[in-house]
Structure 1
Amino acid sequence: MLMLRVITAFVLLVILCFSVWAGPLCFAGVMAVGFGLALYEWLRIGNLGPVPAALVSAVEMVTQFSLYWAGALPRMEWFLFIVNGVVMIAWFAIFIAELLHRSTGFKVSVRQCLLSAVVFVPAAYLSLLYLFEIGDWVLVLSVLLIVWGADISAYFCGRAWGKHKMCTAISPKKTWEGAIGAYVIVIVFFLLTYWFCDQNNVFTNFLFDQAGFFWGVVTLALLVALSIAGDLWESMLKRLAGIKDSSNLLPGHGGFFDRLDASLPVLPAATWIMLAVMLSK
């Protein structure tokens, strides 16, 4: 299973690197496919039929890709700021609900599942495109590294030291030790990045320059919390639907929703932070 996961991850990495090399439109198109499939899987979890789910996903992704192709994103900054602000608040509310109901779980209606899908996934995709527009692949990668770093750190720290379950009714394998490990490792990693890497288009460098050490660390910790919220939200939806993976499209990894779940809250939040600084000047 581990070898299968590694092979799939390598193939995805090759596709991603090729799309970046091939140019912005290719990158945007590849990402549209990935986020579109994640949206499709989410809608299917909400019991929407395969044809309607495919149509909704295609329309949303094509519309946003067209906005990027037409060069509209720089003129949509206030729109992105408002929408991503609402999305960010919604994700924090979800995170609080997850923690409050960590031992009992909570019900999510079909309407809530579908509505969150058609709002959260497009917001994340449009945010990714905007980050790519203003900072190239380095900015996008630096944001995604927060998610990947938290996920990998939580997994290994949880396996090594995990004893206290964090959300037994939502995701029984997650532990407080894993979450704490994710916070510590991600924060230390990006502090070292700030001290030794002077690239301006690294998101956390921008964050520490604008917010200072204390508030930069606080904001980074909140972003890690959002990544955990996204992971737990998908786990809750799958538990209610009685499934293990969102699909079997990615051998060893499940589906695209499984791979992107923790990124969906972080991308809009990171974009909102950058926009809050830039629009205030």
Structure 2
Amino acid sequence: MLKTRVITALALLAVLLPALWFAPLIWLGILIAVVVTLAAWEWWRMLFPANHKRAFSYAGLCLLSLSIWFMYASIDLIRLLLLLTAIFWIFLVPYLMRQSLNLDMTQWRWPLAISGLFIFPACWFALMHLRGGGLSLLLSVLVLVWAADIGAYFAGKAFGKHKLAIQLSPGKSIEGAVGGWVLVMSIAFVSVTVLDEMSLTSSNFFSLLLTNYGWLGLFGITSLCVVMSIEGDLFESQMKRIAGVKDSSALLPGHGGILDRIDALLPVLPVTALIATLFA
């Protein structure tokens, strides 16, 4: 299993890293469109575990939604899409998560399916806008999410005693979440002080926050992003447990599905991109 995970991870990096660094935006856009379409396919399979056949149609509909938004895209429309998606994650998802495994999916399947037609296009626009703002901007957002996950893992292993959401994800702890937050805040501090002074970074997300919102804004918004990355992970776990599946799919050998890899990014991307569009 470990060998499979490593091979899959290396293959993904071999595709992703050159696309981020060297590929024209159009090719990166095509790659991300494939990823979000596959994620939409998995989204339907989790929402309708007894009706997998229509997952392909739903994925196509999501791609069509992305195409329509793209055709009529203006900065104001993109901001609206990102705002609607941010509202979904900030207000609706916590309400659904409070119901844990008692969430009545007969009531929420179709609203969540419709929401997916906005969530995944918003993810595409967020990634493309962040990349368009510079590689440092996109990478700093990715590092924020990855650091929150890595810090939570190691802090949880070392200090975890109090469960964060035992029904949704028994392995996550409050201590782990705090550890992830500490690591992210440390990276943010180093990024806007040491690295910026040495001119080793430019136009990264943390610097953008400090420049436009000050230290309080940097602290508050970065903390919100850490919380939302955890929320994305837990919400997908909730959906999988209700659907009775271990992974969102088996598309990535040893890693599960696309949603298993990007669940923490889905809530963070629209928020960070929305902030970035305000200072475009």
TM over 0.5: yes
Q: Distance in 1 between matches of 2:171 and 2:17?
A: 32
- Say whether residues 1:38 and 2:39 are aligned partners: yes
Give the stretch that moved more between structures: 179-188 or 2-11.
Answer: 2-11
Q: Distance in 2 between matches of 1:259 and 1:180?
A: 21
Out of 96, 104, 107, the position equivalent to 2:104 is: 107
Residue correspondences, number: 272
Relative to structure 1, the CA distance from residue 67 to residue 201 in structure 2 (aligned partners, 3 Å threshold; closer, same or farther) is farther
Amino acid across the alignment from 1:26: W
1:194-213 mapped onto 2 (5 Å cutoff): 194-198=192-196, 199-213=201-215
Relative to structure 1, the CA distance from residue 105 to residue 192 in structure 2 (aligned partners, 3 Å threshold; closer, same or farther) is farther
Give the stretch that moved more between structures: 241-250 or 135-144.
Answer: 135-144
Relative to structure 1, the CA distance from residue 244 to residue 52 in structure 2 (aligned partners, 3 Å threshold; closer, same or farther) is same
Runs (5+) with no aligned partner, structure 1:
none
Relative to structure 1, the CA distance from residue 273 to residue 242 in structure 2 (aligned partners, 3 Å threshold; closer, same or farther) is same
Q: Distance in 2 between matches of 1:79 and 1:203?
A: 22
Cα contact 1:154–1:178 (8 A) shared by 2:
yes
Q: Which residue of structure 2 lines up, in the alignment, with residue 13 of structure 1?
A: 13
Q: Which residue of structure 1 lines up, in the alignment, with residue 236 of structure 2?
A: 234
Amino acid across the alignment from 1:4: T
Q: Which residue of structure 2 lines up, in the alignment, with residue 84 of structure 1?
A: 82
Q: Distance in 1 between matches of 2:85 and 2:76?
A: 14
Q: Which residue of structure 2 lines up, in the alignment, with residue 124 of structure 1?
A: 123
Q: Which residue of structure 2 lines up, in the alignment, with residue 4 of structure 1?
A: 4
Q: Which residue of structure 1 lines up, in the alignment, with residue 268 of structure 2?
A: 266
Q: Distance in 1 between matches of 2:99 and 2:52?
A: 31
Please state how far the C-alpha of 1:272 moved relative to its aligned partner.
1.2
Q: Distance in 2 between matches of 1:230 and 1:40?
A: 17
Amino acid across the alignment from 1:186: V
Amino acid across the alignment from 1:13: L
Cα contact 2:136–2:202 (8 A) shared by 1:
no
Q: Which residue of structure 1 lines up, in the alignment, with residue 95 of structure 2?
A: 97
Task: Give 3-state SS (helix, strand or coil) of 2:134's partner.
Answer: helix
Task: Give 3-state SS (helix, strand or coil) of 1:138's partner.
Answer: helix
Q: Distance in 1 between matches of 2:13 and 2:173?
A: 29
1:246-269 per-residue CA deviation (whole Å, 9 max, x = no partner) reads 011111210001101110111100
Please state how far the C-alpha of 1:213 moved relative to its aligned partner.
1.0
Q: Which residue of structure 1 lines up, in the alignment, with residue 251 of structure 2?
A: 249
Task: Give 3-state SS (helix, strand or coil) of 2:48's partner.
Answer: coil
Please state how far the C-alpha of 1:101 moved relative to its aligned partner.
4.5
Q: Distance in 1 between matches of 2:242 and 2:187?
A: 36
TM-score relative to the length of structure 1: 0.88
Runs (5+) with no aligned partner, structure 2:
none
Amino acid across the alignment from 2:4: L
Cα contact 1:105–1:169 (8 A) shared by 2:
no
1:141-180 mapped onto 2 (5 Å cutoff): 141-180=139-178
Task: Give 3-state SS (helix, strand or coil) of 1:22's partner.
Answer: coil
Q: Distance in 2 between matches of 1:113 and 1:42?
A: 9
Q: Distance in 1 between matches of 2:182 and 2:97?
A: 20
Task: Give 3-state SS (helix, strand or coil) of 2:203's partner.
Answer: coil
Question: Identity over the aligned pairs, expressed in percent?
Answer: 34
Relative to structure 1, the CA distance from residue 29 to residue 66 in structure 2 (aligned partners, 3 Å threshold; closer, same or farther) is farther
Cα contact 2:240–2:247 (8 A) shared by 1:
yes
Please state how far the C-alpha of 1:236 moved relative to its aligned partner.
0.5
1:180-205 per-residue CA deviation (whole Å, 9 max, x = no partner) reads 00111101111101112333321111
Q: Which residue of structure 2 lines up, in the alignment, with residue 27 of structure 1?
A: 28
1:206-265 per-residue CA deviation (whole Å, 9 max, x = no partner) reads 111111112211110001111111111100100100000001111121000110111011
Q: Distance in 1 between matches of 2:174 and 2:96?
A: 14
Please state how far the C-alpha of 1:123 moved relative to its aligned partner.
1.1
Q: Distance in 2 between matches of 1:272 and 1:58?
A: 26
Please state how far the C-alpha of 1:67 moved relative to its aligned partner.
6.6
Q: Distance in 2 between matches of 1:262 and 1:201?
A: 23
Cα contact 2:81–2:118 (8 A) shared by 1:
no
